[in-house]
Amino acid sequence: MAQVAQLRLEDEYDGSTLGDVRRQRRLTAIAVALADDPAASFPKAMKTHAALEGSYRLLRNDAVTMDGILAGHFAQTAERASAHGLVLALHDTTDFKFSGEESREGLGPLRGNGQGFFGHFTLVVTADELRKPLGVIALQTIVRERAKEENEKSKQPTPGQTREAARWKKGAELTEERLGEGCNVIHVMDREGDSYDLWADLMMAGRRFVTRISKDRVLSEAVHLSDVVAAGKVVVERKVHLSRRRKEKIVFNRKRHPARAGRLARLQLSAQTVTFPRPSICSKSLPETLTVNIVHVAEIGTNGSEPPVDWLLVTTEPIASVEDIERIVDIYRARWVIEEYFKALKTGCDYEKRQFESDHTLFNALALLVPIAWRLLLLRALSRDLADAPATEALTKTQIDVLVATSSKALSHKLTVREAMLAVARLGGHITNNGHPGWIVLGRGFEHLLLLEKGWKAAKRRDQS
C-alpha cells in the first residue's frame, strides 16, 4: 500500500466530474479547508464570507451530484486496490439523523422521532490481517416514506422487491465495475445481505462473498439448516478479543446489537456444504438450488453473563482446511472497519450536525466529507495497527526529517509509526495526558505536517539555487 504521506487529499477530488473547472477548484478548496478541522462548521472552516458563500453555491447547485464529487475518490480507491491481488469490499448501511423542529426538504422519518436518510457504503480494505482502508468505492442514499415502528415485524425483502433492498446487489455491481477486471474482490455483508436472490445474482456473476445468515432455512421437507448446523463437527477452537459495544439509543438497534463489555471469547468453529432450495417467493428465473459453504461460529463459556456470539456465515470461499475456515471467520470480522468508518463520518467529521436545509445539499456535503473521513480512518489505523513498524511505512523521509526538526520532543530519525503519529498528533494540538490521539487531532496534525513539508522543500530549493 502507498504511504499515507503520498496520498494528498487534493488527489481525491482532482478527478471529480462537476462539468466546470471552477467548480472543481472550489470543491478542492473546500475540502482542504475542512481537512484542517473536519468537525468544524462551514462558517468556521471557510474563514471568509466569500469562501462560505462559494461553498454554499457549489453544494446547492443542481448540476453537482454525489457521484460527480466522488468520481475522483472512486478512481483513486480503484488505483490503490489494483496494487493488491485481493481486496475485501465491506458493504453496510448506516442512518444519518438530523435534529430540528422544522422538516428538511427531501428527508424522511427515522425510528426515534427523527428525520434523515440512510447511506449504503462500500468500503474497500486490504485482505491482509491489517485490513487497511483503501477508500470508498460506492455510496447510495435511501429516504423512507415512513418510519418503521419499534415493534413492527419486518419481513426480509428480496433485492428485487424494493429499491432499499436492491442496494446490496447494486453495491456489488458498482464495486466490480469501478475496480475493474484486474482486481479480485470478496464481498462482505452483515445479516441484511441474507437473501437467496442476492446470493444467486452474485454466484451467477462469478463473484465471491461472505455473508451472515439472519434466519433459519428449510433445506428439504423435514430438514432445516439449524438441524444440519447442530449436527456439525467442531473442527477448531480459538480465542478472539471482542470489543466493547455501547448501548444503542434506538430500541430496534438495541435488540440487534446488544451492549456488551469487551472480553476474550472462546469460539468453536464448524463448517459444511449445504444446498438451499429456491424459496417460493423468488423469481423462477433464478437457479432452483444454490450450493454454498456454511461456517458456524459459536461462543462457549460465557456463563450467561453476556449473550454468546453465534454466527452463521454463508460463503463461496473453500472450507477444505482449518486454515480456510478460520480465514472465512476473519474475513467476516473485517466488518468492524466499516463501523469505524461510520464513526469517522459522524464523530470525526460531525456530519449529522450540518445545518443544510435540503436532501440535495446534505447528500453533496456527505460526498465531500467521504474522502476526509477515509483519511482520518487511515491515519488512525496506521497509528494503531502499524504502531511498531518503521515510520517509513507511513511517512516519506522528508516528512520524518520535518518531524524530527520541528518536534517539541526529541526524536530519532529511526522512528516507529507510533512515535511518528504521536508527533503528528502533537502538531494538531494533542496532549499526551489525554490518552491516544483521536480523529480530529491526527487529521489536523497531518495537514500541518504537509504545510511544513512544503516550506521545507521550498527552503531546500532556495539553498540549492
CB atoms within 10 A of CB 351: 23
DSSP string, 169-235: HHHHHHHHHHH-TTSEEEEEE-GGG--HHHHHHHHHTT-EEEEE--S--EEETTEEHHHHHHTPPEE
For residues 180 and 171, the answer to whether their CB atoms sit within 8 Å is no
For residue 114, the cross-strand partners are: 110
Q: Which residues are within 8 A (CB) of 447 and not within 5 positions of it... i.e. 6 or more apart?
A: 32, 35, 36, 428
How many domains would you assign to the chain?
A: 1
Reduced to 3 states (helix: H, G, I; strand: E, B; else coil), residue 347 is helix
For residues 192 and 93, the answer to whether their CB atoms sit within 8 Å is yes
Question: What's the angle, vertex CA 143, arms to CA 139 and CA 146, rounded to 5?
Answer: 155
Residue 459 lies in a domain: yes
- Return the C-alpha cell found at 403: 518531524
Q: 3-state DSSP helix/strand/coil percent for the chain, to nearest 5?
A: 45, 20, 35
Residue 3's pLDDT is what?
54
Cα dihedral sign, 416-422-426-431:
negative
Residue 460 lies in a domain: yes
For residues 68 and 322, the answer to whether their CB atoms sit within 8 Å is no
pTM of the model: 0.87
Helix axes 21-35, 439-464, angle to 10 degrees: 110
Domain of residue 446 covers: 387-464
Residue 393 lies in a domain: yes
Digit-by-digit pLDDT tens for the chain (465 residues) are 445 555 578 889 998 999 889 999 999 999 988 887 888 899 999 989 999 999 999 999 999 999 999 999 999 999 999 999 899 999 999 999 998 777 899 999 887 678 999 999 999 999 998 899 999 999 999 998 865 554 554 444 443 445 567 999 999 999 999 999 889 999 999 999 999 999 999 999 999 999 999 989 999 878 999 999 999 999 999 887 776 666 655 544 555 556 666 678 889 999 999 999 999 999 999 999 999 999 999 998 877 777 888 999 999 999 999 999 999 999 999 999 999 999 999 988 999 999 898 999 999 999 999 999 998 898 888 777 777 888 887 788 888 888 888 888 888 778 888 888 888 888 888 877 667 777 677 777 887 888 888 888 888 888 877
Q: Which residues are within 8 A (CB) of 214 and not within 5 positions of it... i.e. 6 or more apart?
A: 156, 191, 192, 194
Reduced to 3 states (helix: H, G, I; strand: E, B; else coil), residue 298 is strand
Q: How far is CA 243 from CA 264, 333, 335, 435, in A?
A: 9, 11, 13, 18
Residue 427 lies in a domain: yes
Residue 141 lies in a domain: no
CA 361 – CA 105 distance, rounded (Å): 10
Residue 419 lies in a domain: yes
For the domain that residue 449 is a member of, what is the CATH number? 1.10.740.10
Residue 407 lies in a domain: yes
Reported as type and span, the H/E element at residue 110 is: strand 108-110
For residue 269, the cross-strand partners are: 236, 297
Reported as type and span, the H/E element at residue 268 is: strand 263-277
Residue 444 lies in a domain: yes
Residue type, 290: L
CA 376 – CA 348 distance, rounded (Å): 7
For residues 69 and 10, the answer to whether their CB atoms sit within 8 Å is no
